Structure 1
Amino acid sequence: MSTVNKVSLSIAAAVVLLLLGLATTPAHAQTPSVTASVDRTDLTLTDVLTLILRIEGVTNVHPLPQAPVISGLILVGSERRSYQAFVQGALSAHFEFIFKYQPLRTGSIDIDPINVILDNTVHITDPITVNVTGGAGATQSSPGPPPQPTSLVGQDFFAESEVDDDTPYIGQQITYTLRFYSANPFARPIYDAPDFAGFWNPGRSSEEESLANVAGRSYTVTEANTVLFPTLAGDLTIEPTNVTVRGGLLGSSVTQYPTRQINLSVRPLPPGEPDAFTGAVGIYSIAAEVDSNTVDIGNPVTLTVTVTGEGNMESLPAPEWPEIPGWRAFDNDAPYKMSIIDGKVQGSREFERVLIPSASGSHEFPPIEYSYFDPSDEEYVTLTSRSFSVEVLPDPGSPEADPLATSEETEDAEAQDIRYIKPVPDSIARPTSPLTASSVFWLLWLTPLAGVLAVTTLVMYKRRPDPVSSSRDLSAASQAALAKLAAIEPGSSTADAASMALHGYLDVRLERPTSGMSATEIADSLGQIGASAATSERLVELMGRIAEMRFSSREVEGTEEVARDVQAIVRSLDEELSA
């Protein structure tokens, strides 16, 4: 064998051994963990607190954690980051949910433990305490603007800027106005706007042109208005806006006309915020409604709260939802509409909560409270919606859903208590031999009884369980469920199709309709006929996940896995209940 062939064989053998080693390397499963941390524990009213929620040991997170409502802090921004890598042949990932808050008051502020649900297990973070003082934070320094005329006194070009309120509250709308005066109708100015550090800019500006006569000259005035919402308290600066005008032959010369720097003093919200305050600033009204006052058990009711008014609709916080015992809750996305009317940001935002009952009967939904700070009146306002009554109907197959049966039994019992009074004969006949002493009487009496016994025996024989037929029914149910699941294509209807297939199989297994039963009731019934506790727990978790996918409009990860999970549950139940 040549040296080249030997080297080739050695390399091939090494590659095979390496691949086998990688294939047999065990994947180290990570244990899910959730931690919360802040970038600082001591801050001032002008600082921004960053809260980081870190999740490790899972490849996806659903439902997504929401920004916690913290008394004494207002949410001013959020973002999400994910990191994934392969470590020793296994996928390793962690996620970071970053929430930024502005202090509303001084003193000690507690951040309560945050609950995060991962794989049907609740993970709780440690509480955090931060201390807020009234001192001013570090202010930003910037070079002053280039020398410029302080007013329009006959020059060809001039730029100026202003704000309509230089002492706003945090979260209050202000309007930044830029005006550029041009005596040359052919000039095409270019605007270089500042980055508005410390402000939230929804990117909605209006621009209009007009003519003005100043110092005996005619000018074209271009006015641009930009809506801003301060996100930091304290001294803030809006840097100059530079307006560039090209001149000379073919635009060979460039001249810049800067505006002045604008200084603002942003006030924090005053103390004394109500319990229902979650950070809204502006002027609002609310309306609440439910889509139905009657619902079958296991079906959803949607509670919608619409907030309308003037303010920052894009970051408007949700209300403080009340806890309703006996109902599971899922939050939908909160769409908003926003426009600028007469220089004010106006619009509405709808907050939806999908509620699923687990018990029948009459239920009361308490009123929804929504608080906001009105900067014009400098006071907190709390709005309250009306309450709602919802009637949850029981499962049609349950005894409580058929009150007529009990009523009919009672009527039969009462009817049996009625006896006619036998009339007294005119004369007393001479006693004869009793009828019961005759053998013919007993023969006639026993004949119908024997017939009834024969018919009953025949009916029971025909209705006896047929193990072959029962096995065929269960096998057909399994095959039908698996066939439906195999035909499912990932999409918006995945959860509905998986739910129908699963309930179709469970109906046959439990010999009764299961669509109106809760997941726990189904698991208990399966346990009574031989299902293991582990499989029952998997079923409860899976049904909860399917319910969230069906009833929540938010994007829920894992829809592609639902069909496979239902198939696995069906096969597990077949193995356990057929043993």
Structure 2
Amino acid sequence: MKGLIAKIIFAALCVVAWGPAAGADKVVFEASSPLIVAVGEAFRVEFALNARPDDGSFAPPSFEGFDVLAGPAVSEGSSIQIVNGSMTKSVEYTLTYVLMANSAGNFTVAPAAIAVDGETYRTRSLPIEVVDEGVAPGSAGAAPGSSANGEPQSRNPESEARRRLGKDDILLRAAVSRSTVYKGEPLRVTFKLYRRANVAGFQDYKVPSFNGFWAQQLNTDNAPRQRETYNGKIYETSVAWEYLLYPQQAGTLVIEPAELTAVAQVIVPSNRSADPFFGGGHDVYNVPVKVQSPRVNITVKPLPAGAPAGFSGAVGHFTMETKLPTQRLAANSAATYTVKISGTGNLTFVQAPKLTLPGSFEQYNVKTTESINTSAAGISGYRQFEYPFIARADGSFQIEPVVFSYFDPSRMEYATLRSEPLTLDVAPDAGGGGEAVVMQNRGMSKEEVRLLGEDIRFIKLGNARLRTPQQPFLFSKLYWVLLCGILLLFTAAYATLRRRIRESQNVALVRGRRANKVAVQRFRAARKYMEAHDRHAFYEEMLRALWGYVSDKFNIPVANLTKENVREELHRRGVPSDESQRFTALIAQCDEAQYSPAASVQMGDIYADGVDLISRIESIIKR
């Protein structure tokens, strides 16, 4: 029971909140239809409304040039969404007509009208091109396996797709708001895409550099799509880019072409048989089409002669407001003279007008603030200039008016704006300060302004303690000596490190240097076996020490270790023949004694001979 009551209350709240939720949306009434149709082909025209209309308020167009086969068919739907306690309601109300054209040509579906809450809304007119080809270009009305004129299709499907796409089905045009302007006068260039085929996407954009212009790109995200007739054909148009241009020099300037590649979708009948249930028999191919806008010449006229003395290049229509300081000041006190220039034109290039102050005034850097809006109509807003100054001497002073001149292209003449003259009375400094020393024709920083009034300091009295200024360590002799020493030390360390890295990467060199160390370790192991009277392990370790030494020292693979190779390598390294014979004889004794009875004294003799022999060979090779 409680659940049922809760549902009833929720439904009642939805009904109560439906009115404000539905009324909050903006009413949109639009019409849609195919761009190109064929003679005798049935097609649909839909009128869509996002609200509930008043009963009997729909007024359809006359549909001149078309036969109405059916309609209007009304479909209506609504949905309610509640997200985080916020409810939104959407309504879809659609009226559909089925039409057919009996003759070729360009026809227009007139606007339809409908009323919502007593207010009337109208659609835009819909231009439609009717072609007499048996089937509209790019449509799927042709029979599978045949071309548009009924001939058998024997081409490659991709070639057929390109053939079906006309050369003028996709165009890129550049439209300018005016072709003759004055220097500094804005013009608008719009790059529009004209298409008579479905376009899946775009790639390889290229926008001109606009040489000779100052360019500002405009936002075209909300630019609507429209239908236009060009060269007797109807296109669907959309804005690709739009720029506001300000010519910076007189003469003939050229807007270079813009480029892009449009991926058109073309339907081509296939040789495959149509599915009896789902239909088919047609393929869709993506055909890249590179389009380019034509060059556009702009004639830029120079500004007329006889410009006023205060003209600095401003072009447009402007007004000037001034905020004057109070007419009474005290000496050594600061004030600000403010000039605000508003209007439409090349505000970005407007410079601060000249403010002439008496010689006893300190004038500082001009502060500029601005608020500029860019739209298709041009640049509008304001630039404000603040002139801070300090009156350094008392008296009565006349401040000349601020003069701002600009060229008005609509009237084709110069205009001059003037501020009111100002008489400024400066009273003596209340602090009793005398006449100030003035530095003329010099702008001052903020830090210097802060120190004004403290520029004359009290002379220090008493015994002065003088000391010799110490030379800073930076760039001294000791600095350069230490720097050179650090650089030399770094160079030496770097060279040593690089040499060790190279040597560590040489496996043969590393083995050769470690041969003696490895042999000594094996001799120590052999001595332990000798002291333990383990004859077999002793002689085995002695053979490892001797063979391993020559293998590592001379980089001889284990497979090539023979007595003859060892004698040849020792002889090549400068070892006397008797020493090489002694080395091979010692290896032979170890081989024989490994499996034959021998006393520990003999093991001691062989151990001593091995250590002595390796030491002599190592000393001979290192010479």
The TM-score, its normalising length taken from structure 1, stands at: 0.43
Higher relative contact order (CA 8 A, sep 6+): 1
